[in-house]
Amino acid sequence: MSDRLPGFSTLAVHAGAQPDPTTGARATPIYQTTSFVFNDADHAASLFGLQAFGNIYTRIGNPTNAVLEERVAALEGGTAALAVASGHAAQVVVLQQLLQPGDEFIAARKLYGGSINQFTHAFKSFGWNVVWADSDDIASFERAVTPRTKAIFIESIANPGGSITDIEAISTVARKAGVPLIVDNTLASPYLIRPIDHGADIVVHSLTKFLGGHGNSLGGIIVDAGTFDWSTGGKYPMLSEPRPEYHGIRLQETFGNFAFAIACRVLGLRDLGPALSPFNAFMILTGIETLPLRMQKHCDNAKAVAEFLAGHPAVASVSYAGLASDKYNQLARKYAPKGAGAVFTFSLRGGYDAGVSLVSKLQLFSHLANVGDTRSLVIHPASTTHSQLDDAAKVKSGAGPDVVRLSIGIEDKEDLIADLEQALGA
Ligand SMILES: *Cc1c(COP(=O)(O)O)cnc(C)c1O
């Protein structure tokens, strides 16, 4: 064996996996079982007491899911990861470890529409209060910090406009405030951006999107960077205080730089229950093997489509950070030099009606509420994903009435452009 550290594409194929020790199966088997037999009573007791690692019950962990966890942790440069049932489940499990009722977290206003809903309504009912900030105005994060702030949450490439967030600048604010920075890296994937390299303490994903990549399986994942000290000032009691359910152990003291991933598993997933099906883990693992190939093609196609739209008379503006003229192009060159992702918006001179009409005329693009599929997708956010927001909030989150969002797939770019041409021109 050479001393070379494996590169990204090698990790995407191999990290976490080995031939099955029992059967020799080369692809990771789907361990479709709810539970696992203990060696003996002592073994069972040590697993339940967190004195030994091993499989108990698929709600807490599963060998297929474990390969997925190790692979994404390797791709993101984290110490450990936890797979869960969806991206939204990942967000709940993360914040449950950090916030007590009455606490606050700061979130960038430019977010996936579902996250805006989750933070505003569902989390409020848990007593977790979101305070909004503007990722184009770093000082707005600083101003939002209070003694009850427990975390900062941003997207690396933000939905729906494809804007690039200055992760390092916001990580500096988080460090100063003594709180972890959580980055939703769904739209970039670790192929384009590795937030931990820029100061993120926790990375979350909707695996449903580019990591799975084929639009066939929901999933989510939490990656622990191992960078945050949870023991200071009693601010994070889930990690620093003795846990009554585990004979009084303190997770930070016992598990060190992967204590957060452990907390998410043994306090979050175990008790809240959003476990990922091993079948979905298998589908997503298969998708990840081709992530570097797909992501590059997604980005190259997106750039070509964005350039075409920018030159079309029916189009008022295109918001794609990969265009030299875009206001986020400098940040894209710094954070995502291989490509600015494949999800972006453009606005139509014809406003709301033109948006609705375009969506109905497109043939190759599917009209649906998802991103990160091999297929190209289109949606009109104002009448769908962001319809719950008032007009001012729609504009603020990049989803005004004239805005159309595209997620560019891996088809031939000439076919995508031809489809847009007929739909815009007719
Ligand atoms: C889809 C998405 C989510 C939510 O993920 P689910 O798997 O649908 O629960 C969160 N963040 C971003 C950026 C997304 O695109």
Q: Give the rounded distance of the alpha carbon of 382 from its chain centre.
A: 23
Cβ of residue 88 lying under 6 Å from some atom of ligand 1: yes
Beta strand segments in 47-93, E = 80-84
Weakly modelled stretches of the chain, pLDDT under 50? none
350 lines ligand 1 (CB under 6 A): no
Pocket test for ligand 1, best of 192, 208, 280 (most atoms within 8 A of CB): 208
- Please report, for the chain, the start and end positions of each structural domain, with discontinuous segments joined by +: 14-287, 292-425
Q: Answer yes or no: same fold for 14-287 and 292-425.
A: no
- Identify the pLDDT of residue 92: 98
Q: Which of 112, 119, 344, 407 to mutate to test the pocket of ligand 1 (most atoms within 8 A of CB)?
A: 112
Cα 291 to Cα 354: distance, rounded to the nearest angstrom: 34
* SS3 call for 101: coil
Which tokens belong to 154?
């941003």
Output the pLDDT for position 339: 98
CA–CA–CA angle 314, 320, 325 (5° rounding): 85
Q: Domain spanning 292-425: which superfamily?
A: Aspartate Aminotransferase, domain 1 (3.90.1150.10)
Cα(61)–Cα(136) distance, integer angstroms: 39
Q: Assess whether the C-beta atom of 97 lies below 6 angstroms from ligand 1.
A: no
Q: What digits encode the pLDDT tens for the residues 57-69?
A: 999 999 999 999 9
pLDDT for position 406: 97
Let me know if 358 is exposed, middle or buried by CB neighbors in 10 A (0-12, 13-18, 19+): buried
pTM for the model stands at 0.96
Confidence at residue 37, expressed as pLDDT on a 0 to 100 scale: 95
- In this structure, what is the dihedral angle of CA atoms 163, 371, 219, 174, given to the nearest 10 degrees? 10
Residues in the chain: 426
Q: Is the CB of 209 under 6 A from ligand 1?
A: yes
What residue's CA is closest to ligand 1, atom 4? 87
Q: Measured on CA atoms in the order 82, 86, 87, 93, is the torsion positive or negative?
A: negative
Our answer on whether the CB atom of 394 is closer than 6 Å to any ligand 1 atom is no
Q: Name the residue among 281, 274, 280, 219 with its Cα closest to residue 92.
A: 274
Q: Which CATH architecture has domain 14-287?
A: 3-Layer(aba) Sandwich (3.40)
